[in-house]
Each structure stands twice: as structure tokens, then as C-alpha cells.
């Protein structure tokens, strides 16, 4: 009879059960748990101060990303000279990325400087019967701001619907809280566009640079003028800036109302409808025009319009702009225009300039422009803030956009294209009159610029897209 005996179990020699593994059994838990346990042993317990530091770093990275990388697509485009400004295909080609059909039946009036603009806008507001919709980048407390606040409040108290939308950075710090309270108490609806107090840090750098005033849905205004004391007077002293605004009447007014509604709806979820905002608009003039509104995450349309217009030019290109940092494509297009016989002139700020870093960043392109035959002039009496372009005395582009990367890729802008020879002739006269108060900036001056100017140009290169 066989006796049953007990045997001790030997370790298996199969995979995963070696003697080495027997001495060091596999740790329990998932790979992620083991990783965090390892970090905890290495770093030790995280204190409250440690968590605050981690949060600060993450927030800083997020803000830096939002500022430097969140922008519209800017298509590099260098069209050939295959048609001119008067060709039937020109206007639709230039506006193909927005609205290619010009709207006829409009009357457009140029307004110059504070003395020629503020009284016209205030008269329109005080005459409002139903609605006043106002959007601005710069609205500051002061003499100018007080006049407009009084007009807004008087109309609101009279039963007119008054809506005011100001940029959270452009106006937020320079508009007193008491002025905001005054408007709200009077019945004005008031909001900030992308307010800085919001938790959406990705919006911090995406500003509304627009200036839009629409009264009763029948008359609209836009242009470069800000609602601050810098724009007082008639460009008659260094403290009173030179600028251009426009009054618009006719069917095109509905486009400005729509542009205001885009931002108002975004901030308030209130949709503006009905005859108070969108009345029937009959022809009141003979000008053909189109509005281009640049919005977040869209393709940058204004540089495409500019590119087609420059490529189509055969006689003259007159550009006035306060913040000019042209891209390589724009420099090449302008110099190519000179080579085919076009008179290309840029009118820029001179000794009076509120953004010297932007001027330094733009000066990097002066050398190639001047060498290529582009004529550069600097306005001497005061800061020039006009944002205009007129090509061959036929096509005009004016509004809020600067000739820089910020307007093209980041800011929300609004610009008006006018396709008319009589209006273009008036724009030419305005440009040439401003040119009389300017001095040429030559290639010799560029070559002789000092060490500080050269250093400032180099130092601004990493921030070019933000200037």
C-alpha cells in the first residue's frame, strides 16, 4: 500500500515567475498609480504654496499661448498683375473671401478730426427716435466722453433704446465706474466686449478694435477716431490728432447694424430684429460699397483685399496708416507695383507717435520699400491716425484696420470699400493735402539711423505680431 506523502511546492519556471521576480514581486496597482506614487516619493507632499505655484505656472502658460498663438489665418498671397482696378472682375476678386457683390445707392461723407466728427455724431444721437447702437474700442472719461454720455443718457431717458458696447481693454481701465453707473441708471444697456474679469483667458488678446454707431438703423458711422480727448480740436496742435471718420447712408447701413449685432449677440445673447434696427433702406446716393468685418477664427480678409488692389494698380497707390508693419508679401507687392510704373506713397506718423515700438517694428521693412522705389512720408504737425488706402483714384478702403499683423490676425475690425471715381478723387485730394504737411523719409536717412533705432527694430521682432 502506497503511502501519501506531502511535497513542498516549487516556484514555477514559467514566464513571469523567475527567482528574481520571486524576490521582487510586481507592485500592485495600475501603471498610472505607480507613476504618481513614484512622483509622490520623489517630490514629497505638495503644500498649499506648491499648488499655488503650479496653478500660476499653468495659468501663465495658458495666457502666453492665448496671446502668441490664438489668431486668424493669414494667407500669404502675391497675385500677379492680370487685370486693373477698372476691370469688371476686380471688385468681386478683391472681396472674394468676404462678400464679392458691391451694394449700390449709398451716400458717404468724409468727416475730419474731432471738430468735424464729434458734433455730427452727437447730433445724430440726439436726434434718435428709436435706437442707438454704439461700439467702440477707445471710450475714455474726459471732455469727449462726458458729451457722449450726456447724449446717450438723454436719449435713454426719452425712451430710445440705447446699447453701448465697449472693448474690455481699450476702454475698461480709462472709463470711470461712475460714468458707467450713470449710463446704466439712465436706462442705457451697457456691456464690455471680452471683459477682462471673465475667466476665458483665451479671449484676453482678442479685442474689438471697431468703431460703429448706428442710429435708428438709418445712418451709420465708422473710422479711426477714438472717443477720447486726444481727438479734440482740428489737428491744430500736437495734442489734437489727425484722423478721418465717415458717415454712411443708404442700403449699406444694414451691414454696419449686422456687424454691431455680431458682437452684441455674443456678449448678451440678445438678438436685434424688427424695423427699429433694420428698417427698409432706400437708395440715397450713387456710391457702390461693401463692408468687411473681421471676426475671430476667420480668414484674414482685409490683407487679401489690399493684395488684389495693389496688384491691380496701374497709376497710384496712396496709403495713410498710423501703425504700419507690412509683411514681406506686402513689401514685395508694393515694390512690384513701382516696377510697372505705379506711384506708391506711404504717409506715416513722424515725430508724434503714440506707439514707438510699432514704429520700430515697421521700420524693418523701410529699407526694401525705399530701395524698391516706394516713397515714404512722415506727418509732422501731430499724430496722424487715419487708416485709408486709395488705388488709381477709383478704389478706396477706409475704416479701423491698421497695416499690421494685429489688425490682420487678431483684432476684430470693420472696414468700408468704396468703388467710385468721384469718391476716389476726393480721397486723393485729402491724401495730397496731408502730404503737404509731411516730410519725405529717404533711403539715406534709413541707412544713417542710429544705434538705438537699430536696436529697437531688432528688439521688437519677437513681438511683431502683437504690435
Residue 292 CA to residue 296 CA, distance in Å, equals 13
Helix axes 177-185, 143-157, angle to 10 degrees: 20
244 domain-assigned: yes
444 domain-assigned: yes
Instruction: Give the residue from 259, 270, 337 showing the smallest Cα distance to 298.
Output: 259
Task: Name the one residue in this structure whose C-alpha cell is 438709418.
Answer: 218
Query: In the structure grid, which three cell numbers stand for residue 402, read together?
Result: 491698421
Instruction: Give the residue from 296, 146, 272, 110 showing the smallest Cα distance to 209.
Output: 296
31 domain-assigned: no
Residue 154 CA to residue 187 CA, distance in Å, equals 9
Within 8 A by CB and 6+ apart from 2, the residues are none
Task: Name the one residue in this structure whose C-alpha cell is 476686380.
Answer: 90
Find the mean pLDDT for residues 51-68. Answer: 74
DSSP-assigned letters across all residues of 101-153: SPEEEEEEEEEEHHHHHHHHHHHHHHT-SSEEEEEES-B-SSHHHHHHHHHHH
Residue 172 CA to residue 138 CA, distance in Å, equals 9
Give the CA diameter of the chain.
128
Residue 43's pLDDT is 59
pLDDT in tens, 200-241: 666 677 788 999 999 999 999 999 999 999 999 999 999 999
Domain total of the chain: 1
**Residues 404 and 325 sit within 8 Å (Cβ to Cβ):** yes
Residue 284 CA to residue 59 CA, distance in Å, equals 53
CA dihedral 70, 98, 259, 216 (to 10 degrees): 170
40 domain-assigned: no
Residue 402's pLDDT is 93
Find the mean pLDDT for residues 31-55. Answer: 69
Residue 338 CA to residue 356 CA, distance in Å, equals 28
pLDDT band at 21 (very low <50, low <70, confident <90, very high): very low
**Residues 325 and 138 sit within 8 Å (Cβ to Cβ):** no
SS3 263: helix
Alpha helices, H only, 269-395: 302-312, 328-339, 356-362, 366-371
Residue 44's pLDDT is 62
**Percentages helix, strand, coil for the chain, rounded to the nearest 5?**
40, 20, 40
8 domain-assigned: no
49 domain-assigned: no
**Residues 253 and 109 sit within 8 Å (Cβ to Cβ):** no
Residue 460 CA to residue 453 CA, distance in Å, equals 11
Lowest mean pLDDT among 19-28, 97-106, 220-229, 427-436: 19-28
Cα 326 vs. chain centroid, distance in angstroms? 15
Residue 275 has pLDDT above 90, yes or no: yes
213 domain-assigned: yes
Planar angle of CA 8, 12, 17, nearest 5 degrees = 130
pLDDT band at 453 (very low <50, low <70, confident <90, very high): confident
Query: In the structure grid, which three cell numbers stand for residue 21, read together?
Result: 521576480
**Residues 401 and 415 sit within 8 Å (Cβ to Cβ):** yes
Q: Count the residues in the chain.
A: 467
CA dihedral 41, 44, 50, 51 (to 10 degrees): 50
H or E element at residue 56? helix 48-69
Residue 201's pLDDT is 62
* Structural domain range at position 125: 72-466
pTM for the model stands at: 0.85
The CATH number of residue 431's host domain is 3.30.870.10
Residue 206's pLDDT is 76
Q: Between 383 and 452, where is the model more confident?
A: 383
Cα 72 vs. chain centroid, distance in angstroms? 11
SS3 321: coil
pLDDT band at 16 (very low <50, low <70, confident <90, very high): very low
Instruction: Give the residue from 278, 298, 281 showing the smallest Cα distance to 289.
Output: 281
Amino acid at each position: 500500500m502506497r503511502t501519501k506523502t506531502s511535497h513542498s511546492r516549487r516556484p514555477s519556471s514559467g514566464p513571469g515567475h523567475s527567482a528574481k521576480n520571486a524576490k521582487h514581486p510586481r507592485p500592485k496597482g495600475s501603471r498610472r498609480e505607480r507613476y504618481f506614487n513614484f512622483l509622490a516619493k520623489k517630490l514629497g507632499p505638495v503644500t498649499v504654496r506648491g499648488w499655488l505655484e503650479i496653478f500660476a505656472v499653468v495659468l501663465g502658460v495658458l495666457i502666453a499661448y492665448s496671446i502668441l498663438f490664438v489668431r486668424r489665418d493669414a494667407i500669404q498671397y502675391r497675385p500677379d498683375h492680370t487685370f486693373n482696378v477698372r476691370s469688371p472682375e476686380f471688385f468681386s476678386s478683391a472681396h472674394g473671401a468676404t462678400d464679392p457683390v458691391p451694394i449700390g445707392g449709398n451716400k458717404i461723407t468724409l468727416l475730419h478730426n474731432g471738430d468735424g466728427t464729434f458734433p455730427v455724431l452727437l447730433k445724430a444721437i440726439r436726434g434718435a427716435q428709436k435706437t442707438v447702437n454704439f461700439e467702440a474700442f477707445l471710450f475714455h472719461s474726459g471732455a469727449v466722453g462726458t458729451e457722449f454720455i450726456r447724449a446717450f443718457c438723454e436719449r435713454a431717458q426719452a425712451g430710445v433704446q440705447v446699447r453701448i458696447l465697449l472693448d474690455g481693454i481699450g476702454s475698461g481701465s480709462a472709463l470711470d465706474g461712475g460714468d458707467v453707473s450713470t449710463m446704466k441708471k439712465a436706462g442705457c444697456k451697457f456691456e464690455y466686449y471680452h471683459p477682462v474679469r471673465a475667466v476665458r483667458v483665451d479671449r484676453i488678446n482678442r479685442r474689438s478694435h471697431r468703431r460703429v454707431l448706428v442710429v435708428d438703423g438709418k445712418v451709420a458711422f465708422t473710422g479711426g477716431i477714438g472717443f477720447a480727448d486726444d481727438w479734440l480740436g482740428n489737428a491744430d496742435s500736437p495734442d489734437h490728432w489727425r484722423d478721418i471718420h465717415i458717415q454712411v447712408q443708404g442700403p449699406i447701413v444694414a451691414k454696419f447694424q449686422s456687424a454691431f449685432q455680431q458682437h452684441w449677440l455674443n456678449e448678451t445673447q440678445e438678438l436685434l430684429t424688427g424695423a427699429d434696427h433694420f428698417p427698409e433702406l432706400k437708395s440715397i446716393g450713387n456710391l457702390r460699397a461693401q463692408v468687411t468685418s473681421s471676426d475671430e477664427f476667420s480668414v484674414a480678409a482685409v490683407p487679401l483685399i489690399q493684395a488684389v488692389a495693389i496688384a491691380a494698380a496701374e497709376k497710384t497707390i496712396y496709403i495713410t496708416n498710423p501703425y504700419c508693419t507690412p509683411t514681406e508679401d506686402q513689401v514685395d507687392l508694393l515694390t512690384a507695383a513701382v516696377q510697372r510704373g505705379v506711384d506708391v506713397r506711404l504717409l506715416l506718423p513722424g515725430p508724434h507717435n503714440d506707439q514707438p515700438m510699432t514704429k520700430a517694428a515697421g521700420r524693418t521693412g523701410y529699407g526694401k520699400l525705399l530701395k524698391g522705389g516706394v516713397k515714404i512720408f512722415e506727418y509732422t504737425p501731430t499724430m496722424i491716425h487715419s487708416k485709408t488706402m486709395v488705388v488709381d483714384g477709383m478704389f478706396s478702403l477706409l475704416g479701423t484696420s491698421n497695416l499690421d499683423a494685429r489688425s490682420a490676425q487678431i483684432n476684430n475690425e470693420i472696414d468700408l470699400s468704396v468703388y467710385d471715381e468721384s469718391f476716389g478723387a476726393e480721397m486723393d485730394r485729402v491724401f495730397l493735402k496731408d502730404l503737404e504737411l509731411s516730410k519725405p523719409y529717404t533711403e539715406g536717412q534709413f541707412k544713417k539711423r542710429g544705434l538705438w533705432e537699430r536696436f529697437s527694430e531688432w528688439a521688437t521682432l519677437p513681438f511683431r505680431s502683437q504690435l
